Each structure stands twice: as structure tokens, then as C-alpha cells.
């Protein structure tokens, strides 16, 4: 009986060692800041504005070929407007960086932390659940992303009023007419890592 138990124990240890040897540890991949982009689009009654904002730092986590997490710091002073030029561009950029919107003087960084990732279709699409911090306020966001071994893309819609950005919102102010600004803005994210 002792020989049988010893044999079972030895086989169990060998099996566990083989399983551990075949398991790859999670991999953290650093975002290439020179090749990764974030484009934004905001709409109002009379049209839209577009621009960019830069990633200050970031990484994604993979377990084998599956996306499992990540953290991204956004450099809010880098926010630019791309659909205007000259004085109009400068004025809008200044207003977006003011306390009416992102309060960049006091909140120079925004942050996205992936909390969970579910699903993966054959085309590499995942559903990402994350915490987004803007102006020191953290709220959950959920979006779809396509990720490969070295790149990812996503489009994320964000309700700015959840982050105390209420300027020009018809949900909080009456009689704005053609000065009303949509509550949601859109980010188109392209990462290379």
C-alpha cells in the first residue's frame, strides 16, 4: 500500500511540474508612445470638433495570446484641436484645458485601468471593463477592442458629465439653443506595443 501511495504521489508531483513548465507567465508589453494615438471627437448642435491627446505611459498584459489587462496614463496638457487653425484653434484648446472642461492645471493626467477582459472572438475582439479617471473622478467604462500580439484598436464613448464636465450640457442648463454641446465625446484609440 505504501508503494502505491508513493507512486501516486510521485506521479502527481511529476504531472504538476510538467504543467508548470508548459505554462507561460503573463507578459507585460509597453505601449510605443511614438506610434500610438488617441483621437477625440466632440459634437454640438452646430457641428463637431476633433483633436488628439497623447499617451504619457502605458502597458498591456497578456496571458499567452489573450489580453488580460493594462494601464494607461493620458497627458492632458497635450490636448490639441485638429479641425481649426490660428486664433480659433488656440481659443478652443485653451477653453478645453480650462476648469469649464478638463481643468488641466489641476488635473494634468487622466488614467484608464483595465479591470477585466471577457470574450475573444476569432477576429481578436474583446469586451473590456475598465476604470477611467478624469479630473480626479473615477467611473467604470466598458468598450470593445480588437487586440493582436502587437497592436490594439478601440472606440470609446464617454459621458463627460459623469466627470463633472457640465459646460454647455443641455442636461444641466436650459435655453442653450445652438450653444448646446453633446454630453458624450468619442475617443478612437490605436495602440502599438
Select the CATH number that applies to the domain covering 30-192 from these four: 2.30.110.10, 2.40.128.110, 3.40.50.720, 2.40.50.140.
2.40.128.110
At CA 70, angle to CA 80 and CA 64, rounded to 5?
135
Distance between CA atoms of 24 and 68, rounded to whole angstroms? 14
pLDDT of amino acid 14: 47
> Mean of the per-residue pLDDT values for the chain?
88
Quick one: which H or E segment has residue 15? Answer: helix 2-22
pLDDT of amino acid 177: 72
Highest mean pLDDT range out of 5-19, 115-129, 153-167? 153-167
* Banded pLDDT at 129 (limits 50, 70, 90): very high
Mean pLDDT of 54-72: 95
Task: Domain ranges for the chain, please list them.
Answer: 30-192
Q: What Cα–Cα distance (Å) separates residue 98 from each residue in 12, 87, 104?
A: 63, 16, 6
Distance between CA atoms of 12 and 159, rounded to whole angstroms? 53
What is the per-residue pLDDT across 76-108, written as a single tens digit (0 to 9) for each?
999 999 999 999 999 999 999 999 999 999 999
For the chain, the distance separating the N- and C-terminal CA atoms, rounded to the nearest angstrom, is 56
Spatial neighbors of 108 by CB under 8 A, at least 6 apart, are 75, 76, 77
pLDDT of amino acid 40: 98
> Which region among 42-46, 93-97, 189-193 has the lowest average model confidence (pLDDT)?
42-46
Mean pLDDT of 22-34: 85
Total-model pTM: 0.84
pLDDT of amino acid 4: 53
Amino acid at each position: 500500500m505504501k508503494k502505491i501511495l508513493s507512486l501516486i504521489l510521485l506521479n502527481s508531483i511529476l504531472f504538476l511540474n510538467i504543467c508548470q513548465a508548459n505554462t507561460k507567465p503573463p507578459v507585460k508589453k509597453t505601449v510605443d508612445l511614438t506610434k500610438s494615438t488617441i483621437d477625440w471627437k466632440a459634437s454640438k448642435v452646430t457641428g463637431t470638433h476633433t483633436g488628439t491627446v497623447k499617451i504619457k505611459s502605458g502597458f498591456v498584459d497578456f496571458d499567452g495570446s489573450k489580453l488580460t489587462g493594462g494601464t494607461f496614463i493620458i497627458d492632458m496638457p497635450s490636448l490639441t484641436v485638429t479641425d481649426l487653425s490660428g486664433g480659433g484653434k488656440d481659443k478652443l484648446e485653451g477653453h478645453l484645458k480650462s476648469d469649464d472642461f478638463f481643468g488641466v492645471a489641476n488635473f494634468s493626467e487622466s488614467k484608464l485601468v483595465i479591470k477585466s477582459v471577457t470574450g475573444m472572438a476569432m477576429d481578436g475582439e474583446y469586451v473590456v471593463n475598465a476604470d477611467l479617471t478624469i479630473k480626479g473622478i473615477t467611473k467604470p467604462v466598458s468598450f470593445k477592442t480588437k487586440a493582436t500580439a502587437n497592436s490594439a484598436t478601440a472606440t470609446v464613448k464617454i459621458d463627460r458629465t459623469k466627470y463633472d464636465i457640465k459646460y454647455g450640457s443641455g442636461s444641466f442648463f436650459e435655453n442653450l439653443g445652438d450653444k448646446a454641446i453633446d454630453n458624450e465625446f468619442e475617443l478612437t484609440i490605436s495602440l502599438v506595443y
